[in-house]
Structure 1
Amino acid sequence: MATTSMEETVPESPYCRDLEPVSRIRYKQLVSKYVGSDPYLMKMSEFSGEYKDLPTIEAVDITNYLVLQTSYYTKQQMKAYKSMDAYNFFVSGWVHKLGTKRLHDGYCLVFAFELYCYII
């Protein structure tokens, strides 16, 4: 009997389906390892909206993530100034709600729900 890995059984969100094949595989591996289901398919009721539930983050953590972290694919330093887009979305009012979900082994999923604006 063939065994099926969890990555193959996790339902895919439209976000996941739009990823390049290599990125999709990596995304599904991370989701199945840490979360168990695709965060883009979760309901807001599964997240806590309390700020006290946010993980403690120091300025050095932000610097490490945005500037010093190495790329998974190229193994080169990312200097991810593009990641500042998330900050800019937040301060510009595009983030509607922020949700946190405690995961196993001390991990925490932080998810921002954007405010969509459609012009018809």
Structure 2
Amino acid sequence: MSKEATVAESPYCRDLDPVSRRRYKQLIDRYVGCDPYLIKLSEFSRKPQDLPLIEAVDITNYLVLQTSHYTKQQMKAYKSLEAYDFFISGWVQNLGTKRLRENDRLVFAKVNLPEIK
């Protein structure tokens, strides 16, 4: 039996298309070790000091240089981004972190989104 077949999968993982599912499982295996959607909330720390140290340049490097979700101009005007508004307005709740292998951490948050009409 293959390793992939023995790892417990969340409904989220099972609903992914085959290509996304394979990539998701590769990332899980590399960083987390199990499907993060199956981790109990009680395993996450709510202490601010347990969160990883992240600076604005780290976020910009990830969002602009690695994923290309945003442009440099958008990041310079980050206060105009919808994601920033959601965070400032209290839409991000239950922030927690879990220490993983070595110095890796999994950050969890519940994000309430407005209904789309």
Coarse TM-score class (shorter-chain normalised): 0.7 to 0.9
Tell me which of 87, 91, 112 is aligned to 1:90.
Answer: 87
RMSD: 2.4
CA deviation vs aligned residue, 1:6-35 (integer Å, no higher than 9, x gap): x33221112212222111111112112221
Name 2:101's counterpart in structure 1: 104
Alignment counterpart, residue 79 of structure 1, candidates 62, 68, 74? 68
Residue-pair matches, total: 106
The answer to whether the 8 A contact 1:10-1:28 is kept is: no
1:4 aligned to 2:2? Answer: yes
Percent of aligned positions with the same letter in both sequences?
Answer: 64
Q: Find the aligned partners of 1:13 and 1:86 in 2 and give their Cα distance.
A: 26
Which structure 1 residue ranges, 4+ long, deviate > 3 Å from structure 2?
84-89, 114-118
SS in 2 for 1:105: coil
In structure 1, C-alpha distance between the alignment counterparts of 2:62 and 2:22, rounded to whole Å = 22
For 2:50 and 2:40, locate their aligned partners in 1 and report how far apart those are by CA, in whole Å.
Answer: 17
Distance 1:43 1:86 in 2: 26
Structure 1: stretches of 5+ with no match in the other structure: 70-77
Q: How does 1:38-57 map to 2 (within 5 A)?
A: 38-57=35-54
